[in-house]
Amino acid sequence: MAVSSEFSPLLERFRAAFPRGGPLWCVRAPGRINLIGEHTDYNGFPVMPMAIDRAVRIVCAPRSDGAVELRDANEADYGPRRFGIARRIEPYEAGDWGNYVKAAVQGLVDHAVAAGGRLSDLRGMSCVVDGDIPVEAGLSSSTAVVVASALAFARVNGLHIRRRRMAELTAEAEHYVGTRGGGMDQAACLLGEEGKALKVDFFPLRAQPVPFPRDFCIVAAHSTVNARKSGGRREAYNQRVAECAVGVHILARALGTPPQRRLADLARLQPDLCPDEYLALLHRETGGRQEVGEEEAARLCGLGKRAFRARYALGRDGLFKVMARCRHVLTEADRTERAARALEAGRVEEVGRLMDESHASCAGDYEVSCPELDELVGLMRKEGALGARLTGAGFGGFAIALVRLADAERLKKSLLAGFYGRDGRQAEGRLFVFRPARGSGGRKVS
Ligand code: GLA
């Protein structure tokens, strides 16, 4: 079967690395930007991302020895890896790129075994991996590796898993690398549609495509600060997840409901309460304190300190800013709902305003911005963006601006002059214009 030219060099690389006959599969999984709804997904509230036209690509073939063998197409970047399929696959060292593939394989092994399959029936695979999503930048390059690997493993094993289920499965599977992420990135990657943003709801996952206005686009600019998904940033992310969980426990007790897992579960039980009422309750319950110590945070969740740390994969001892974090999440959920309605109705200016408010809340209450992101967002607005904000988990990575297509080049030039080129800041590979692109896909090649 013919395969698009984006795979030609990778196919050549594959045939050189693994000379053999037989069928091959080509799979592709895109990155994403998130328009609005930041740090809401793991709280059960909606997000509004879109897939972008940058992706991870894998060419793969089955193996009969139960091994997974990986080659990076540009070997200078990431070394080869090899591991065996097992009921429990031991991770490589934290931060190793092979862990994203292991996460996917472990997730599908669990899935196959839970469905009554036998481990010994699963075939290994040889893979050559390539991609053009900027890494450590908040555009979901690591999720794209997980999803592409999962699609590859499913194909070589003839596992038929629907896209929505695959999105849920890979979101869960990615916890293997130690980040307690939600399901936004996997949903955007698997369910994205050309020309459409996705309003995604969780538990259960539902994705509703929302047409993105034709004459608008997103200008994305890297803050030059790396947003690594391992190390300190992972700890800071997991800490946010735990802070929200503490809030849920305090609120559930105050409302007299049984313990709930997420803020959105509470909101479903008490649909008449508005964010301010929840915040007033929190204020009352915590005696107006802005922070809670770890001992108390664990106790509020009904756990010992050790179990609490393990559940949220926490790092250092920290203080839990429950009030501010919950304020961000509850107001961001509301902004996301409003932005989805505004986008649907073509009220683009309103979407822009909500993006601005989202950034202020991410920077202030959630503390996931940094001076470079704030500077970029400020410049974007000054240069006429309808709205601008950080995108993804934050702590560095990309800022995005909602602009008219006709103004995109001008904005890029202003950012080149006003942001890059200063203090040795490089613009190479850091400035893009995006429109919503198609989600992941794959095909067999004989
Ligand atoms: C990361 C996670 C997502 C989401 C965002 C923040 O990208 O993988 O699940 O939580 O951060 O919105």
Residue ranges and CATH numbers for the domains of the chain are: 5-38+47-210+438-444 (3.30.230.10), 222-228+327-434 (3.30.70.890), 231-326 (1.20.1440.340)
Q: Which of the four pLDDT bands, split at 50, 70 and 90, describes residue 170?
A: very high
Distance 100 CA to ligand 1 centre (A): 16
Beta pairing partners, 398: 222
With the most atoms of ligand 1 within 8 angstroms of its CB, the residue from 35, 36, 39, 355 to mutate is 39
3-state secondary structure of 199: strand
Give the pocket of ligand 1 (CB within 6 Å): 38-39, 41-42, 181-182, 184-185, 392-393
Classified as helix, coil or strand, 341 is helix
High-pLDDT (> 70) share of the chain, %: 99
Using DSSP's 3-state secondary structure scheme, residue 396 falls into coil
Provide the pLDDT confidence category of residue 1 given band limits of 50, 70 and 90. Answer: very low
SS3 204: coil
d(CA 122, CA 99): 19
Catalytic residues: 185
Q: Give the pLDDT confidence score for residue 76 in this predicted structure.
A: 72
Q: Whose CA is closest to 436, among 48, 55, 50? A: 50
For a mutational test of ligand 1's pocket, the pick from 33, 38, 41, i.e. the residue with the most ligand atoms closer than 8 A to its C-beta, is 41
pLDDT single digits (tens) 40-92 = 999 999 999 999 999 999 999 999 999 999 999 987 778 999 999 999 999 99
Predicted confidence at residue 136, as pLDDT, reads 87
| Average confidence score pLDDT of the chain | 94
Please identify, by atom number, the ligand 1 atom nearest to the C-alpha of residue 140. 7
Residue 110 pLDDT > 80, yes or no?
Answer: yes
Distance 129 CA to ligand 1 centre (A): 23
Q: Is 49 helix (H, G, I), strand (E, B) or coil?
A: strand
Going by the DSSP 8-state scheme, the letter that residue 35 receives in this structure is E
232 by Cβ neighbours in 10 Å (0-12 / 13-18 / 19+) ranks as exposed
**Do residues 436 and 32 touch, judged by C-beta distance below 8 A?**
no
Q: 196 with 211: CB under 8 angstroms?
A: yes
Q: What's the residue count for the chain? A: 446
Encode pLDDT of 223-276 as tens digits: 999 877 666 788 899 999 999 999 999 999 999 999 899 999 999 998 899 999
